[in-house]
Amino acid sequence: MSASTSILKKPKLEQHSGEEENGGEREVGTSLQEQEEALVALIEHRAREVDHLKRRISYYQSQLQETENKLHDSESRLARLRAQRIAPSAKASPGSGTKSVKVIAPININEGSSRSQPQAKTELLIPAINPKTFQPRISGGFGTKASAVSTTQSSPSRHTNTVPKLKGEKNCRSSPEAEVEARGTKRKLEQKEHKELIPLIRSSSSPSTIDCYASNNISSQHKRKLRSLILCPVNDQLFATSALDGVVNLWQIQSRGSSASLLSGTDCLSPKDRRWPEDLAWHPLGNSLFCTYSADGGDSQISILNLNKIQGRARITYLEDKPHVKGIINSISFMPWENACFATGGSDHAVVFWNEKDNEYLWKPKTLHRNLHSSAVMGVAGLQQKHIVLSAGADRRIIGFDVQSGRADFKHQLDNKCMSVVPNPCDFNLFMVQTGMCRIPEKQLRLFDIRLRQTELHSFGFKQESSDSQSALINQAWSPDGLYLTSGSVDPMIHVFDIRYNSHKPSQSVRAHNKRVFKAVWHSSLPLLISISSDLLIGLHKIT
């Protein structure tokens, strides 16, 4: 009986052992399949990374080549200019076969020099500009780690009489000849080249993103919420901020964008009603800042903060003319033309054009139009290729006014109030309009071609976590290559938009502050974004 039982049980044991072997094979097969899938996913991810890096290398190589060509062209023009100066001074020595040539020192074109008369000049406190500063820096610092910098700053003094010199600056006085020549040639040297970017709009199904690999938030040294942030047009080390405390702070960028030091703080409140500056603009020569105020109560409407130490002149000059009749002067913008001039837009529905007379402390206003807008003018800007002043109004209108002909060149009627208008820095036919929150989400930013009437090329926007409406203080900025836009928001985010992306959504969003972001601007030569926020901090964000 026991023998038969053992004989009967033996097949069952063999059957169990066979099932265990099959289960082990299945486990091994499943494990190999999972490993294979993981490797395939990893290979796809790394292939995308390689493709992305190749595209960026190609882009920076093309930018390097283009910038080198511009550098060589500028050097050639400078050499020709010097040759023209030296040629008249070459005189033949009497009784000899040789010529004596008067040696002229190299011309130091001080781009921060004032436009006033040479005999009134004293030492310039804005550092002289080295042309190399403006070249894109595409190696070395892009991948370096941001150094730890203390955020503590000494409190700025009010009504200071001088701007502290920057580190490494030497005492130098430009010759009268150099100053005259600098004034006569600078605006021509600054003329930009037109690039066709409009065909690239909505050309890609996926965005090209930037990598924000290091951020440093420093104290703005303001006591109330910030209002404006602007970069110096001739010295990429400098930027300025203003706030509701009425103070305008001048900053110098340090350590390739890792931090910034406060150079000066000046009380720029209006003399009568003690109002803070509503908007700021930098003079094209970079030696003064212009502030706008209000037209109510007969107070001063424009002030000039002088960054040069000029003997016998006040640090702040208030213009006597008051062309706006009521309300806040919301916007000021210098025109990108050869002669220095700027436009202002106000709550009185008017756009006023200001021409420089004799020197930069005498300006003559002229009202371009007062009836083309039926509500407040929120933004003004000038076109590069035409003498046309763009104005954006809360009446949902965009007006292009031809200064030479004295009439409106075109009108756009949008579906929501317009808060600002910003031309593209590279494609002179392209401009961006910021609108308020509209019925259709994700359409706060609109792109237009100046040549097409009432035609919207593309629109961007973002969904807000907060329920607050879009603010006029939240401004947009173009990247130097004209392909990206940055926007603040009522949320603590910087939204980045790629005009090539065939979508209304941001190509990416960067959390930059603890409270709402008012503005984020692109640096002209460093891989850097600079932002301001209602948390009273200035953000320095290194990007690649």
Q: What is the DSSP string of 167-204?
A: TT-------HHHHHHHHHHHHHHTPPPP---GGGTT-B
pLDDT for the residue 471: 56
Cβ contacts of residue 31 below 8 Å, gap of 6+? none
Across 1-10, average pLDDT: 46
Looking at per-residue pLDDT, the higher value among 307 and 105 belongs to: 307
Is pLDDT above 90 for 225?
yes
Q: Angle at which helices 2-86 and 176-189 pack, to 10 degrees?
A: 130
pLDDT tier at 489, thresholds 50, 70, 90 = confident
pLDDT tier at 146, thresholds 50, 70, 90 = very low
Tens-digit pLDDT profile for residues 414-451: 988 999 999 999 999 999 999 876 555 678 899 999 99
pLDDT tier at 138, thresholds 50, 70, 90 = very low
Task: For residues 381 and 399, give the distance between their C-alpha atoms in angstroms, rounded to a whole number.
Answer: 11
Across 521-541, average pLDDT: 94
- Would you say the C-alpha torsion 14, 17, 23, 25 has a positive or negative sign? negative
The residues with which 382 forms a beta bridge, in sequence order, are: 389
Cβ contacts of residue 216 below 8 Å, gap of 6+? 146, 149, 151, 258, 259, 539, 540
pLDDT for the residue 443: 83
Most confident of 186-200, 283-297, 463-477: 283-297
Across 528-536, average pLDDT: 95
Looking at per-residue pLDDT, the higher value among 329 and 99 belongs to: 329
The residues with which 343 forms a beta bridge, in sequence order, are: 333, 353
Alpha-carbon distance values, 348 to 7, 33, 356, 373 (Å):
108, 72, 23, 9
- Would you say the C-alpha torsion 56, 57, 61, 62 has a positive or negative sign? negative
Most confident of 49-53, 174-178, 311-315: 49-53
Tens-digit pLDDT profile for residues 353-407: 999 887 667 899 999 999 999 999 999 999 998 999 999 999 999 999 999 999 9
pLDDT tier at 79, thresholds 50, 70, 90 = confident
Share of the chain above pLDDT 90, in %: 50
Length of the chain: 544
Task: For residues 399 and 60, give the distance between their C-alpha atoms in angstroms, rounded to a whole number.
Answer: 37
pLDDT tier at 269, thresholds 50, 70, 90 = very high
Residues 158/164/166/170 CA torsion (nearest 10 deg): 170
Looking at per-residue pLDDT, the higher value among 162 and 196 belongs to: 196
Q: pTM here? A: 0.67
CB atoms near residue 371 (< 10 Å): 7
Minimum mean pLDDT among 61-65, 84-88, 486-490: which range? 84-88
Is pLDDT above 90 for 250?
yes
pLDDT tier at 184, thresholds 50, 70, 90 = very low
Is pLDDT above 50 for 335?
yes
Minimum mean pLDDT among 12-16, 294-298, 383-387: which range? 12-16
pLDDT for the residue 221: 95
Residues 186/188/192/193 CA torsion (nearest 10 deg): -150
pLDDT tier at 502, thresholds 50, 70, 90 = very high
Extract the tokens encoding 278.
């509503």
Q: Is 501 helix (H, G, I), strand (E, B) or coil?
A: strand
Task: For residues 201 and 500, give the distance between their C-alpha atoms in angstroms, rounded to a whole number.
Answer: 4
- Report the candidate in 63, 230, 192, 193 with the shortest Cα–Cα distance to residue 135: 63
pLDDT for the residue 26: 61
pLDDT for the residue 472: 56
pLDDT for the residue 131: 37
Task: For residues 434 and 475, give the distance between their C-alpha atoms in angstroms, rounded to a whole number.
Answer: 8
Across 219-239, average pLDDT: 95
Minimum mean pLDDT among 96-100, 133-137, 385-389: which range? 133-137
Is pLDDT above 60 for 200?
yes
* Terminal-to-terminal C-alpha distance of the chain: 84
Cβ contacts of residue 266 below 8 Å, gap of 6+? 156, 158, 159, 160, 247, 248, 249, 250, 305, 315, 316
pLDDT for the residue 359: 66
Q: What mean pLDDT is reported for the chain?
A: 78
Share of the chain above pLDDT 70, in %: 71
CB atoms near residue 143 (< 10 Å): 11
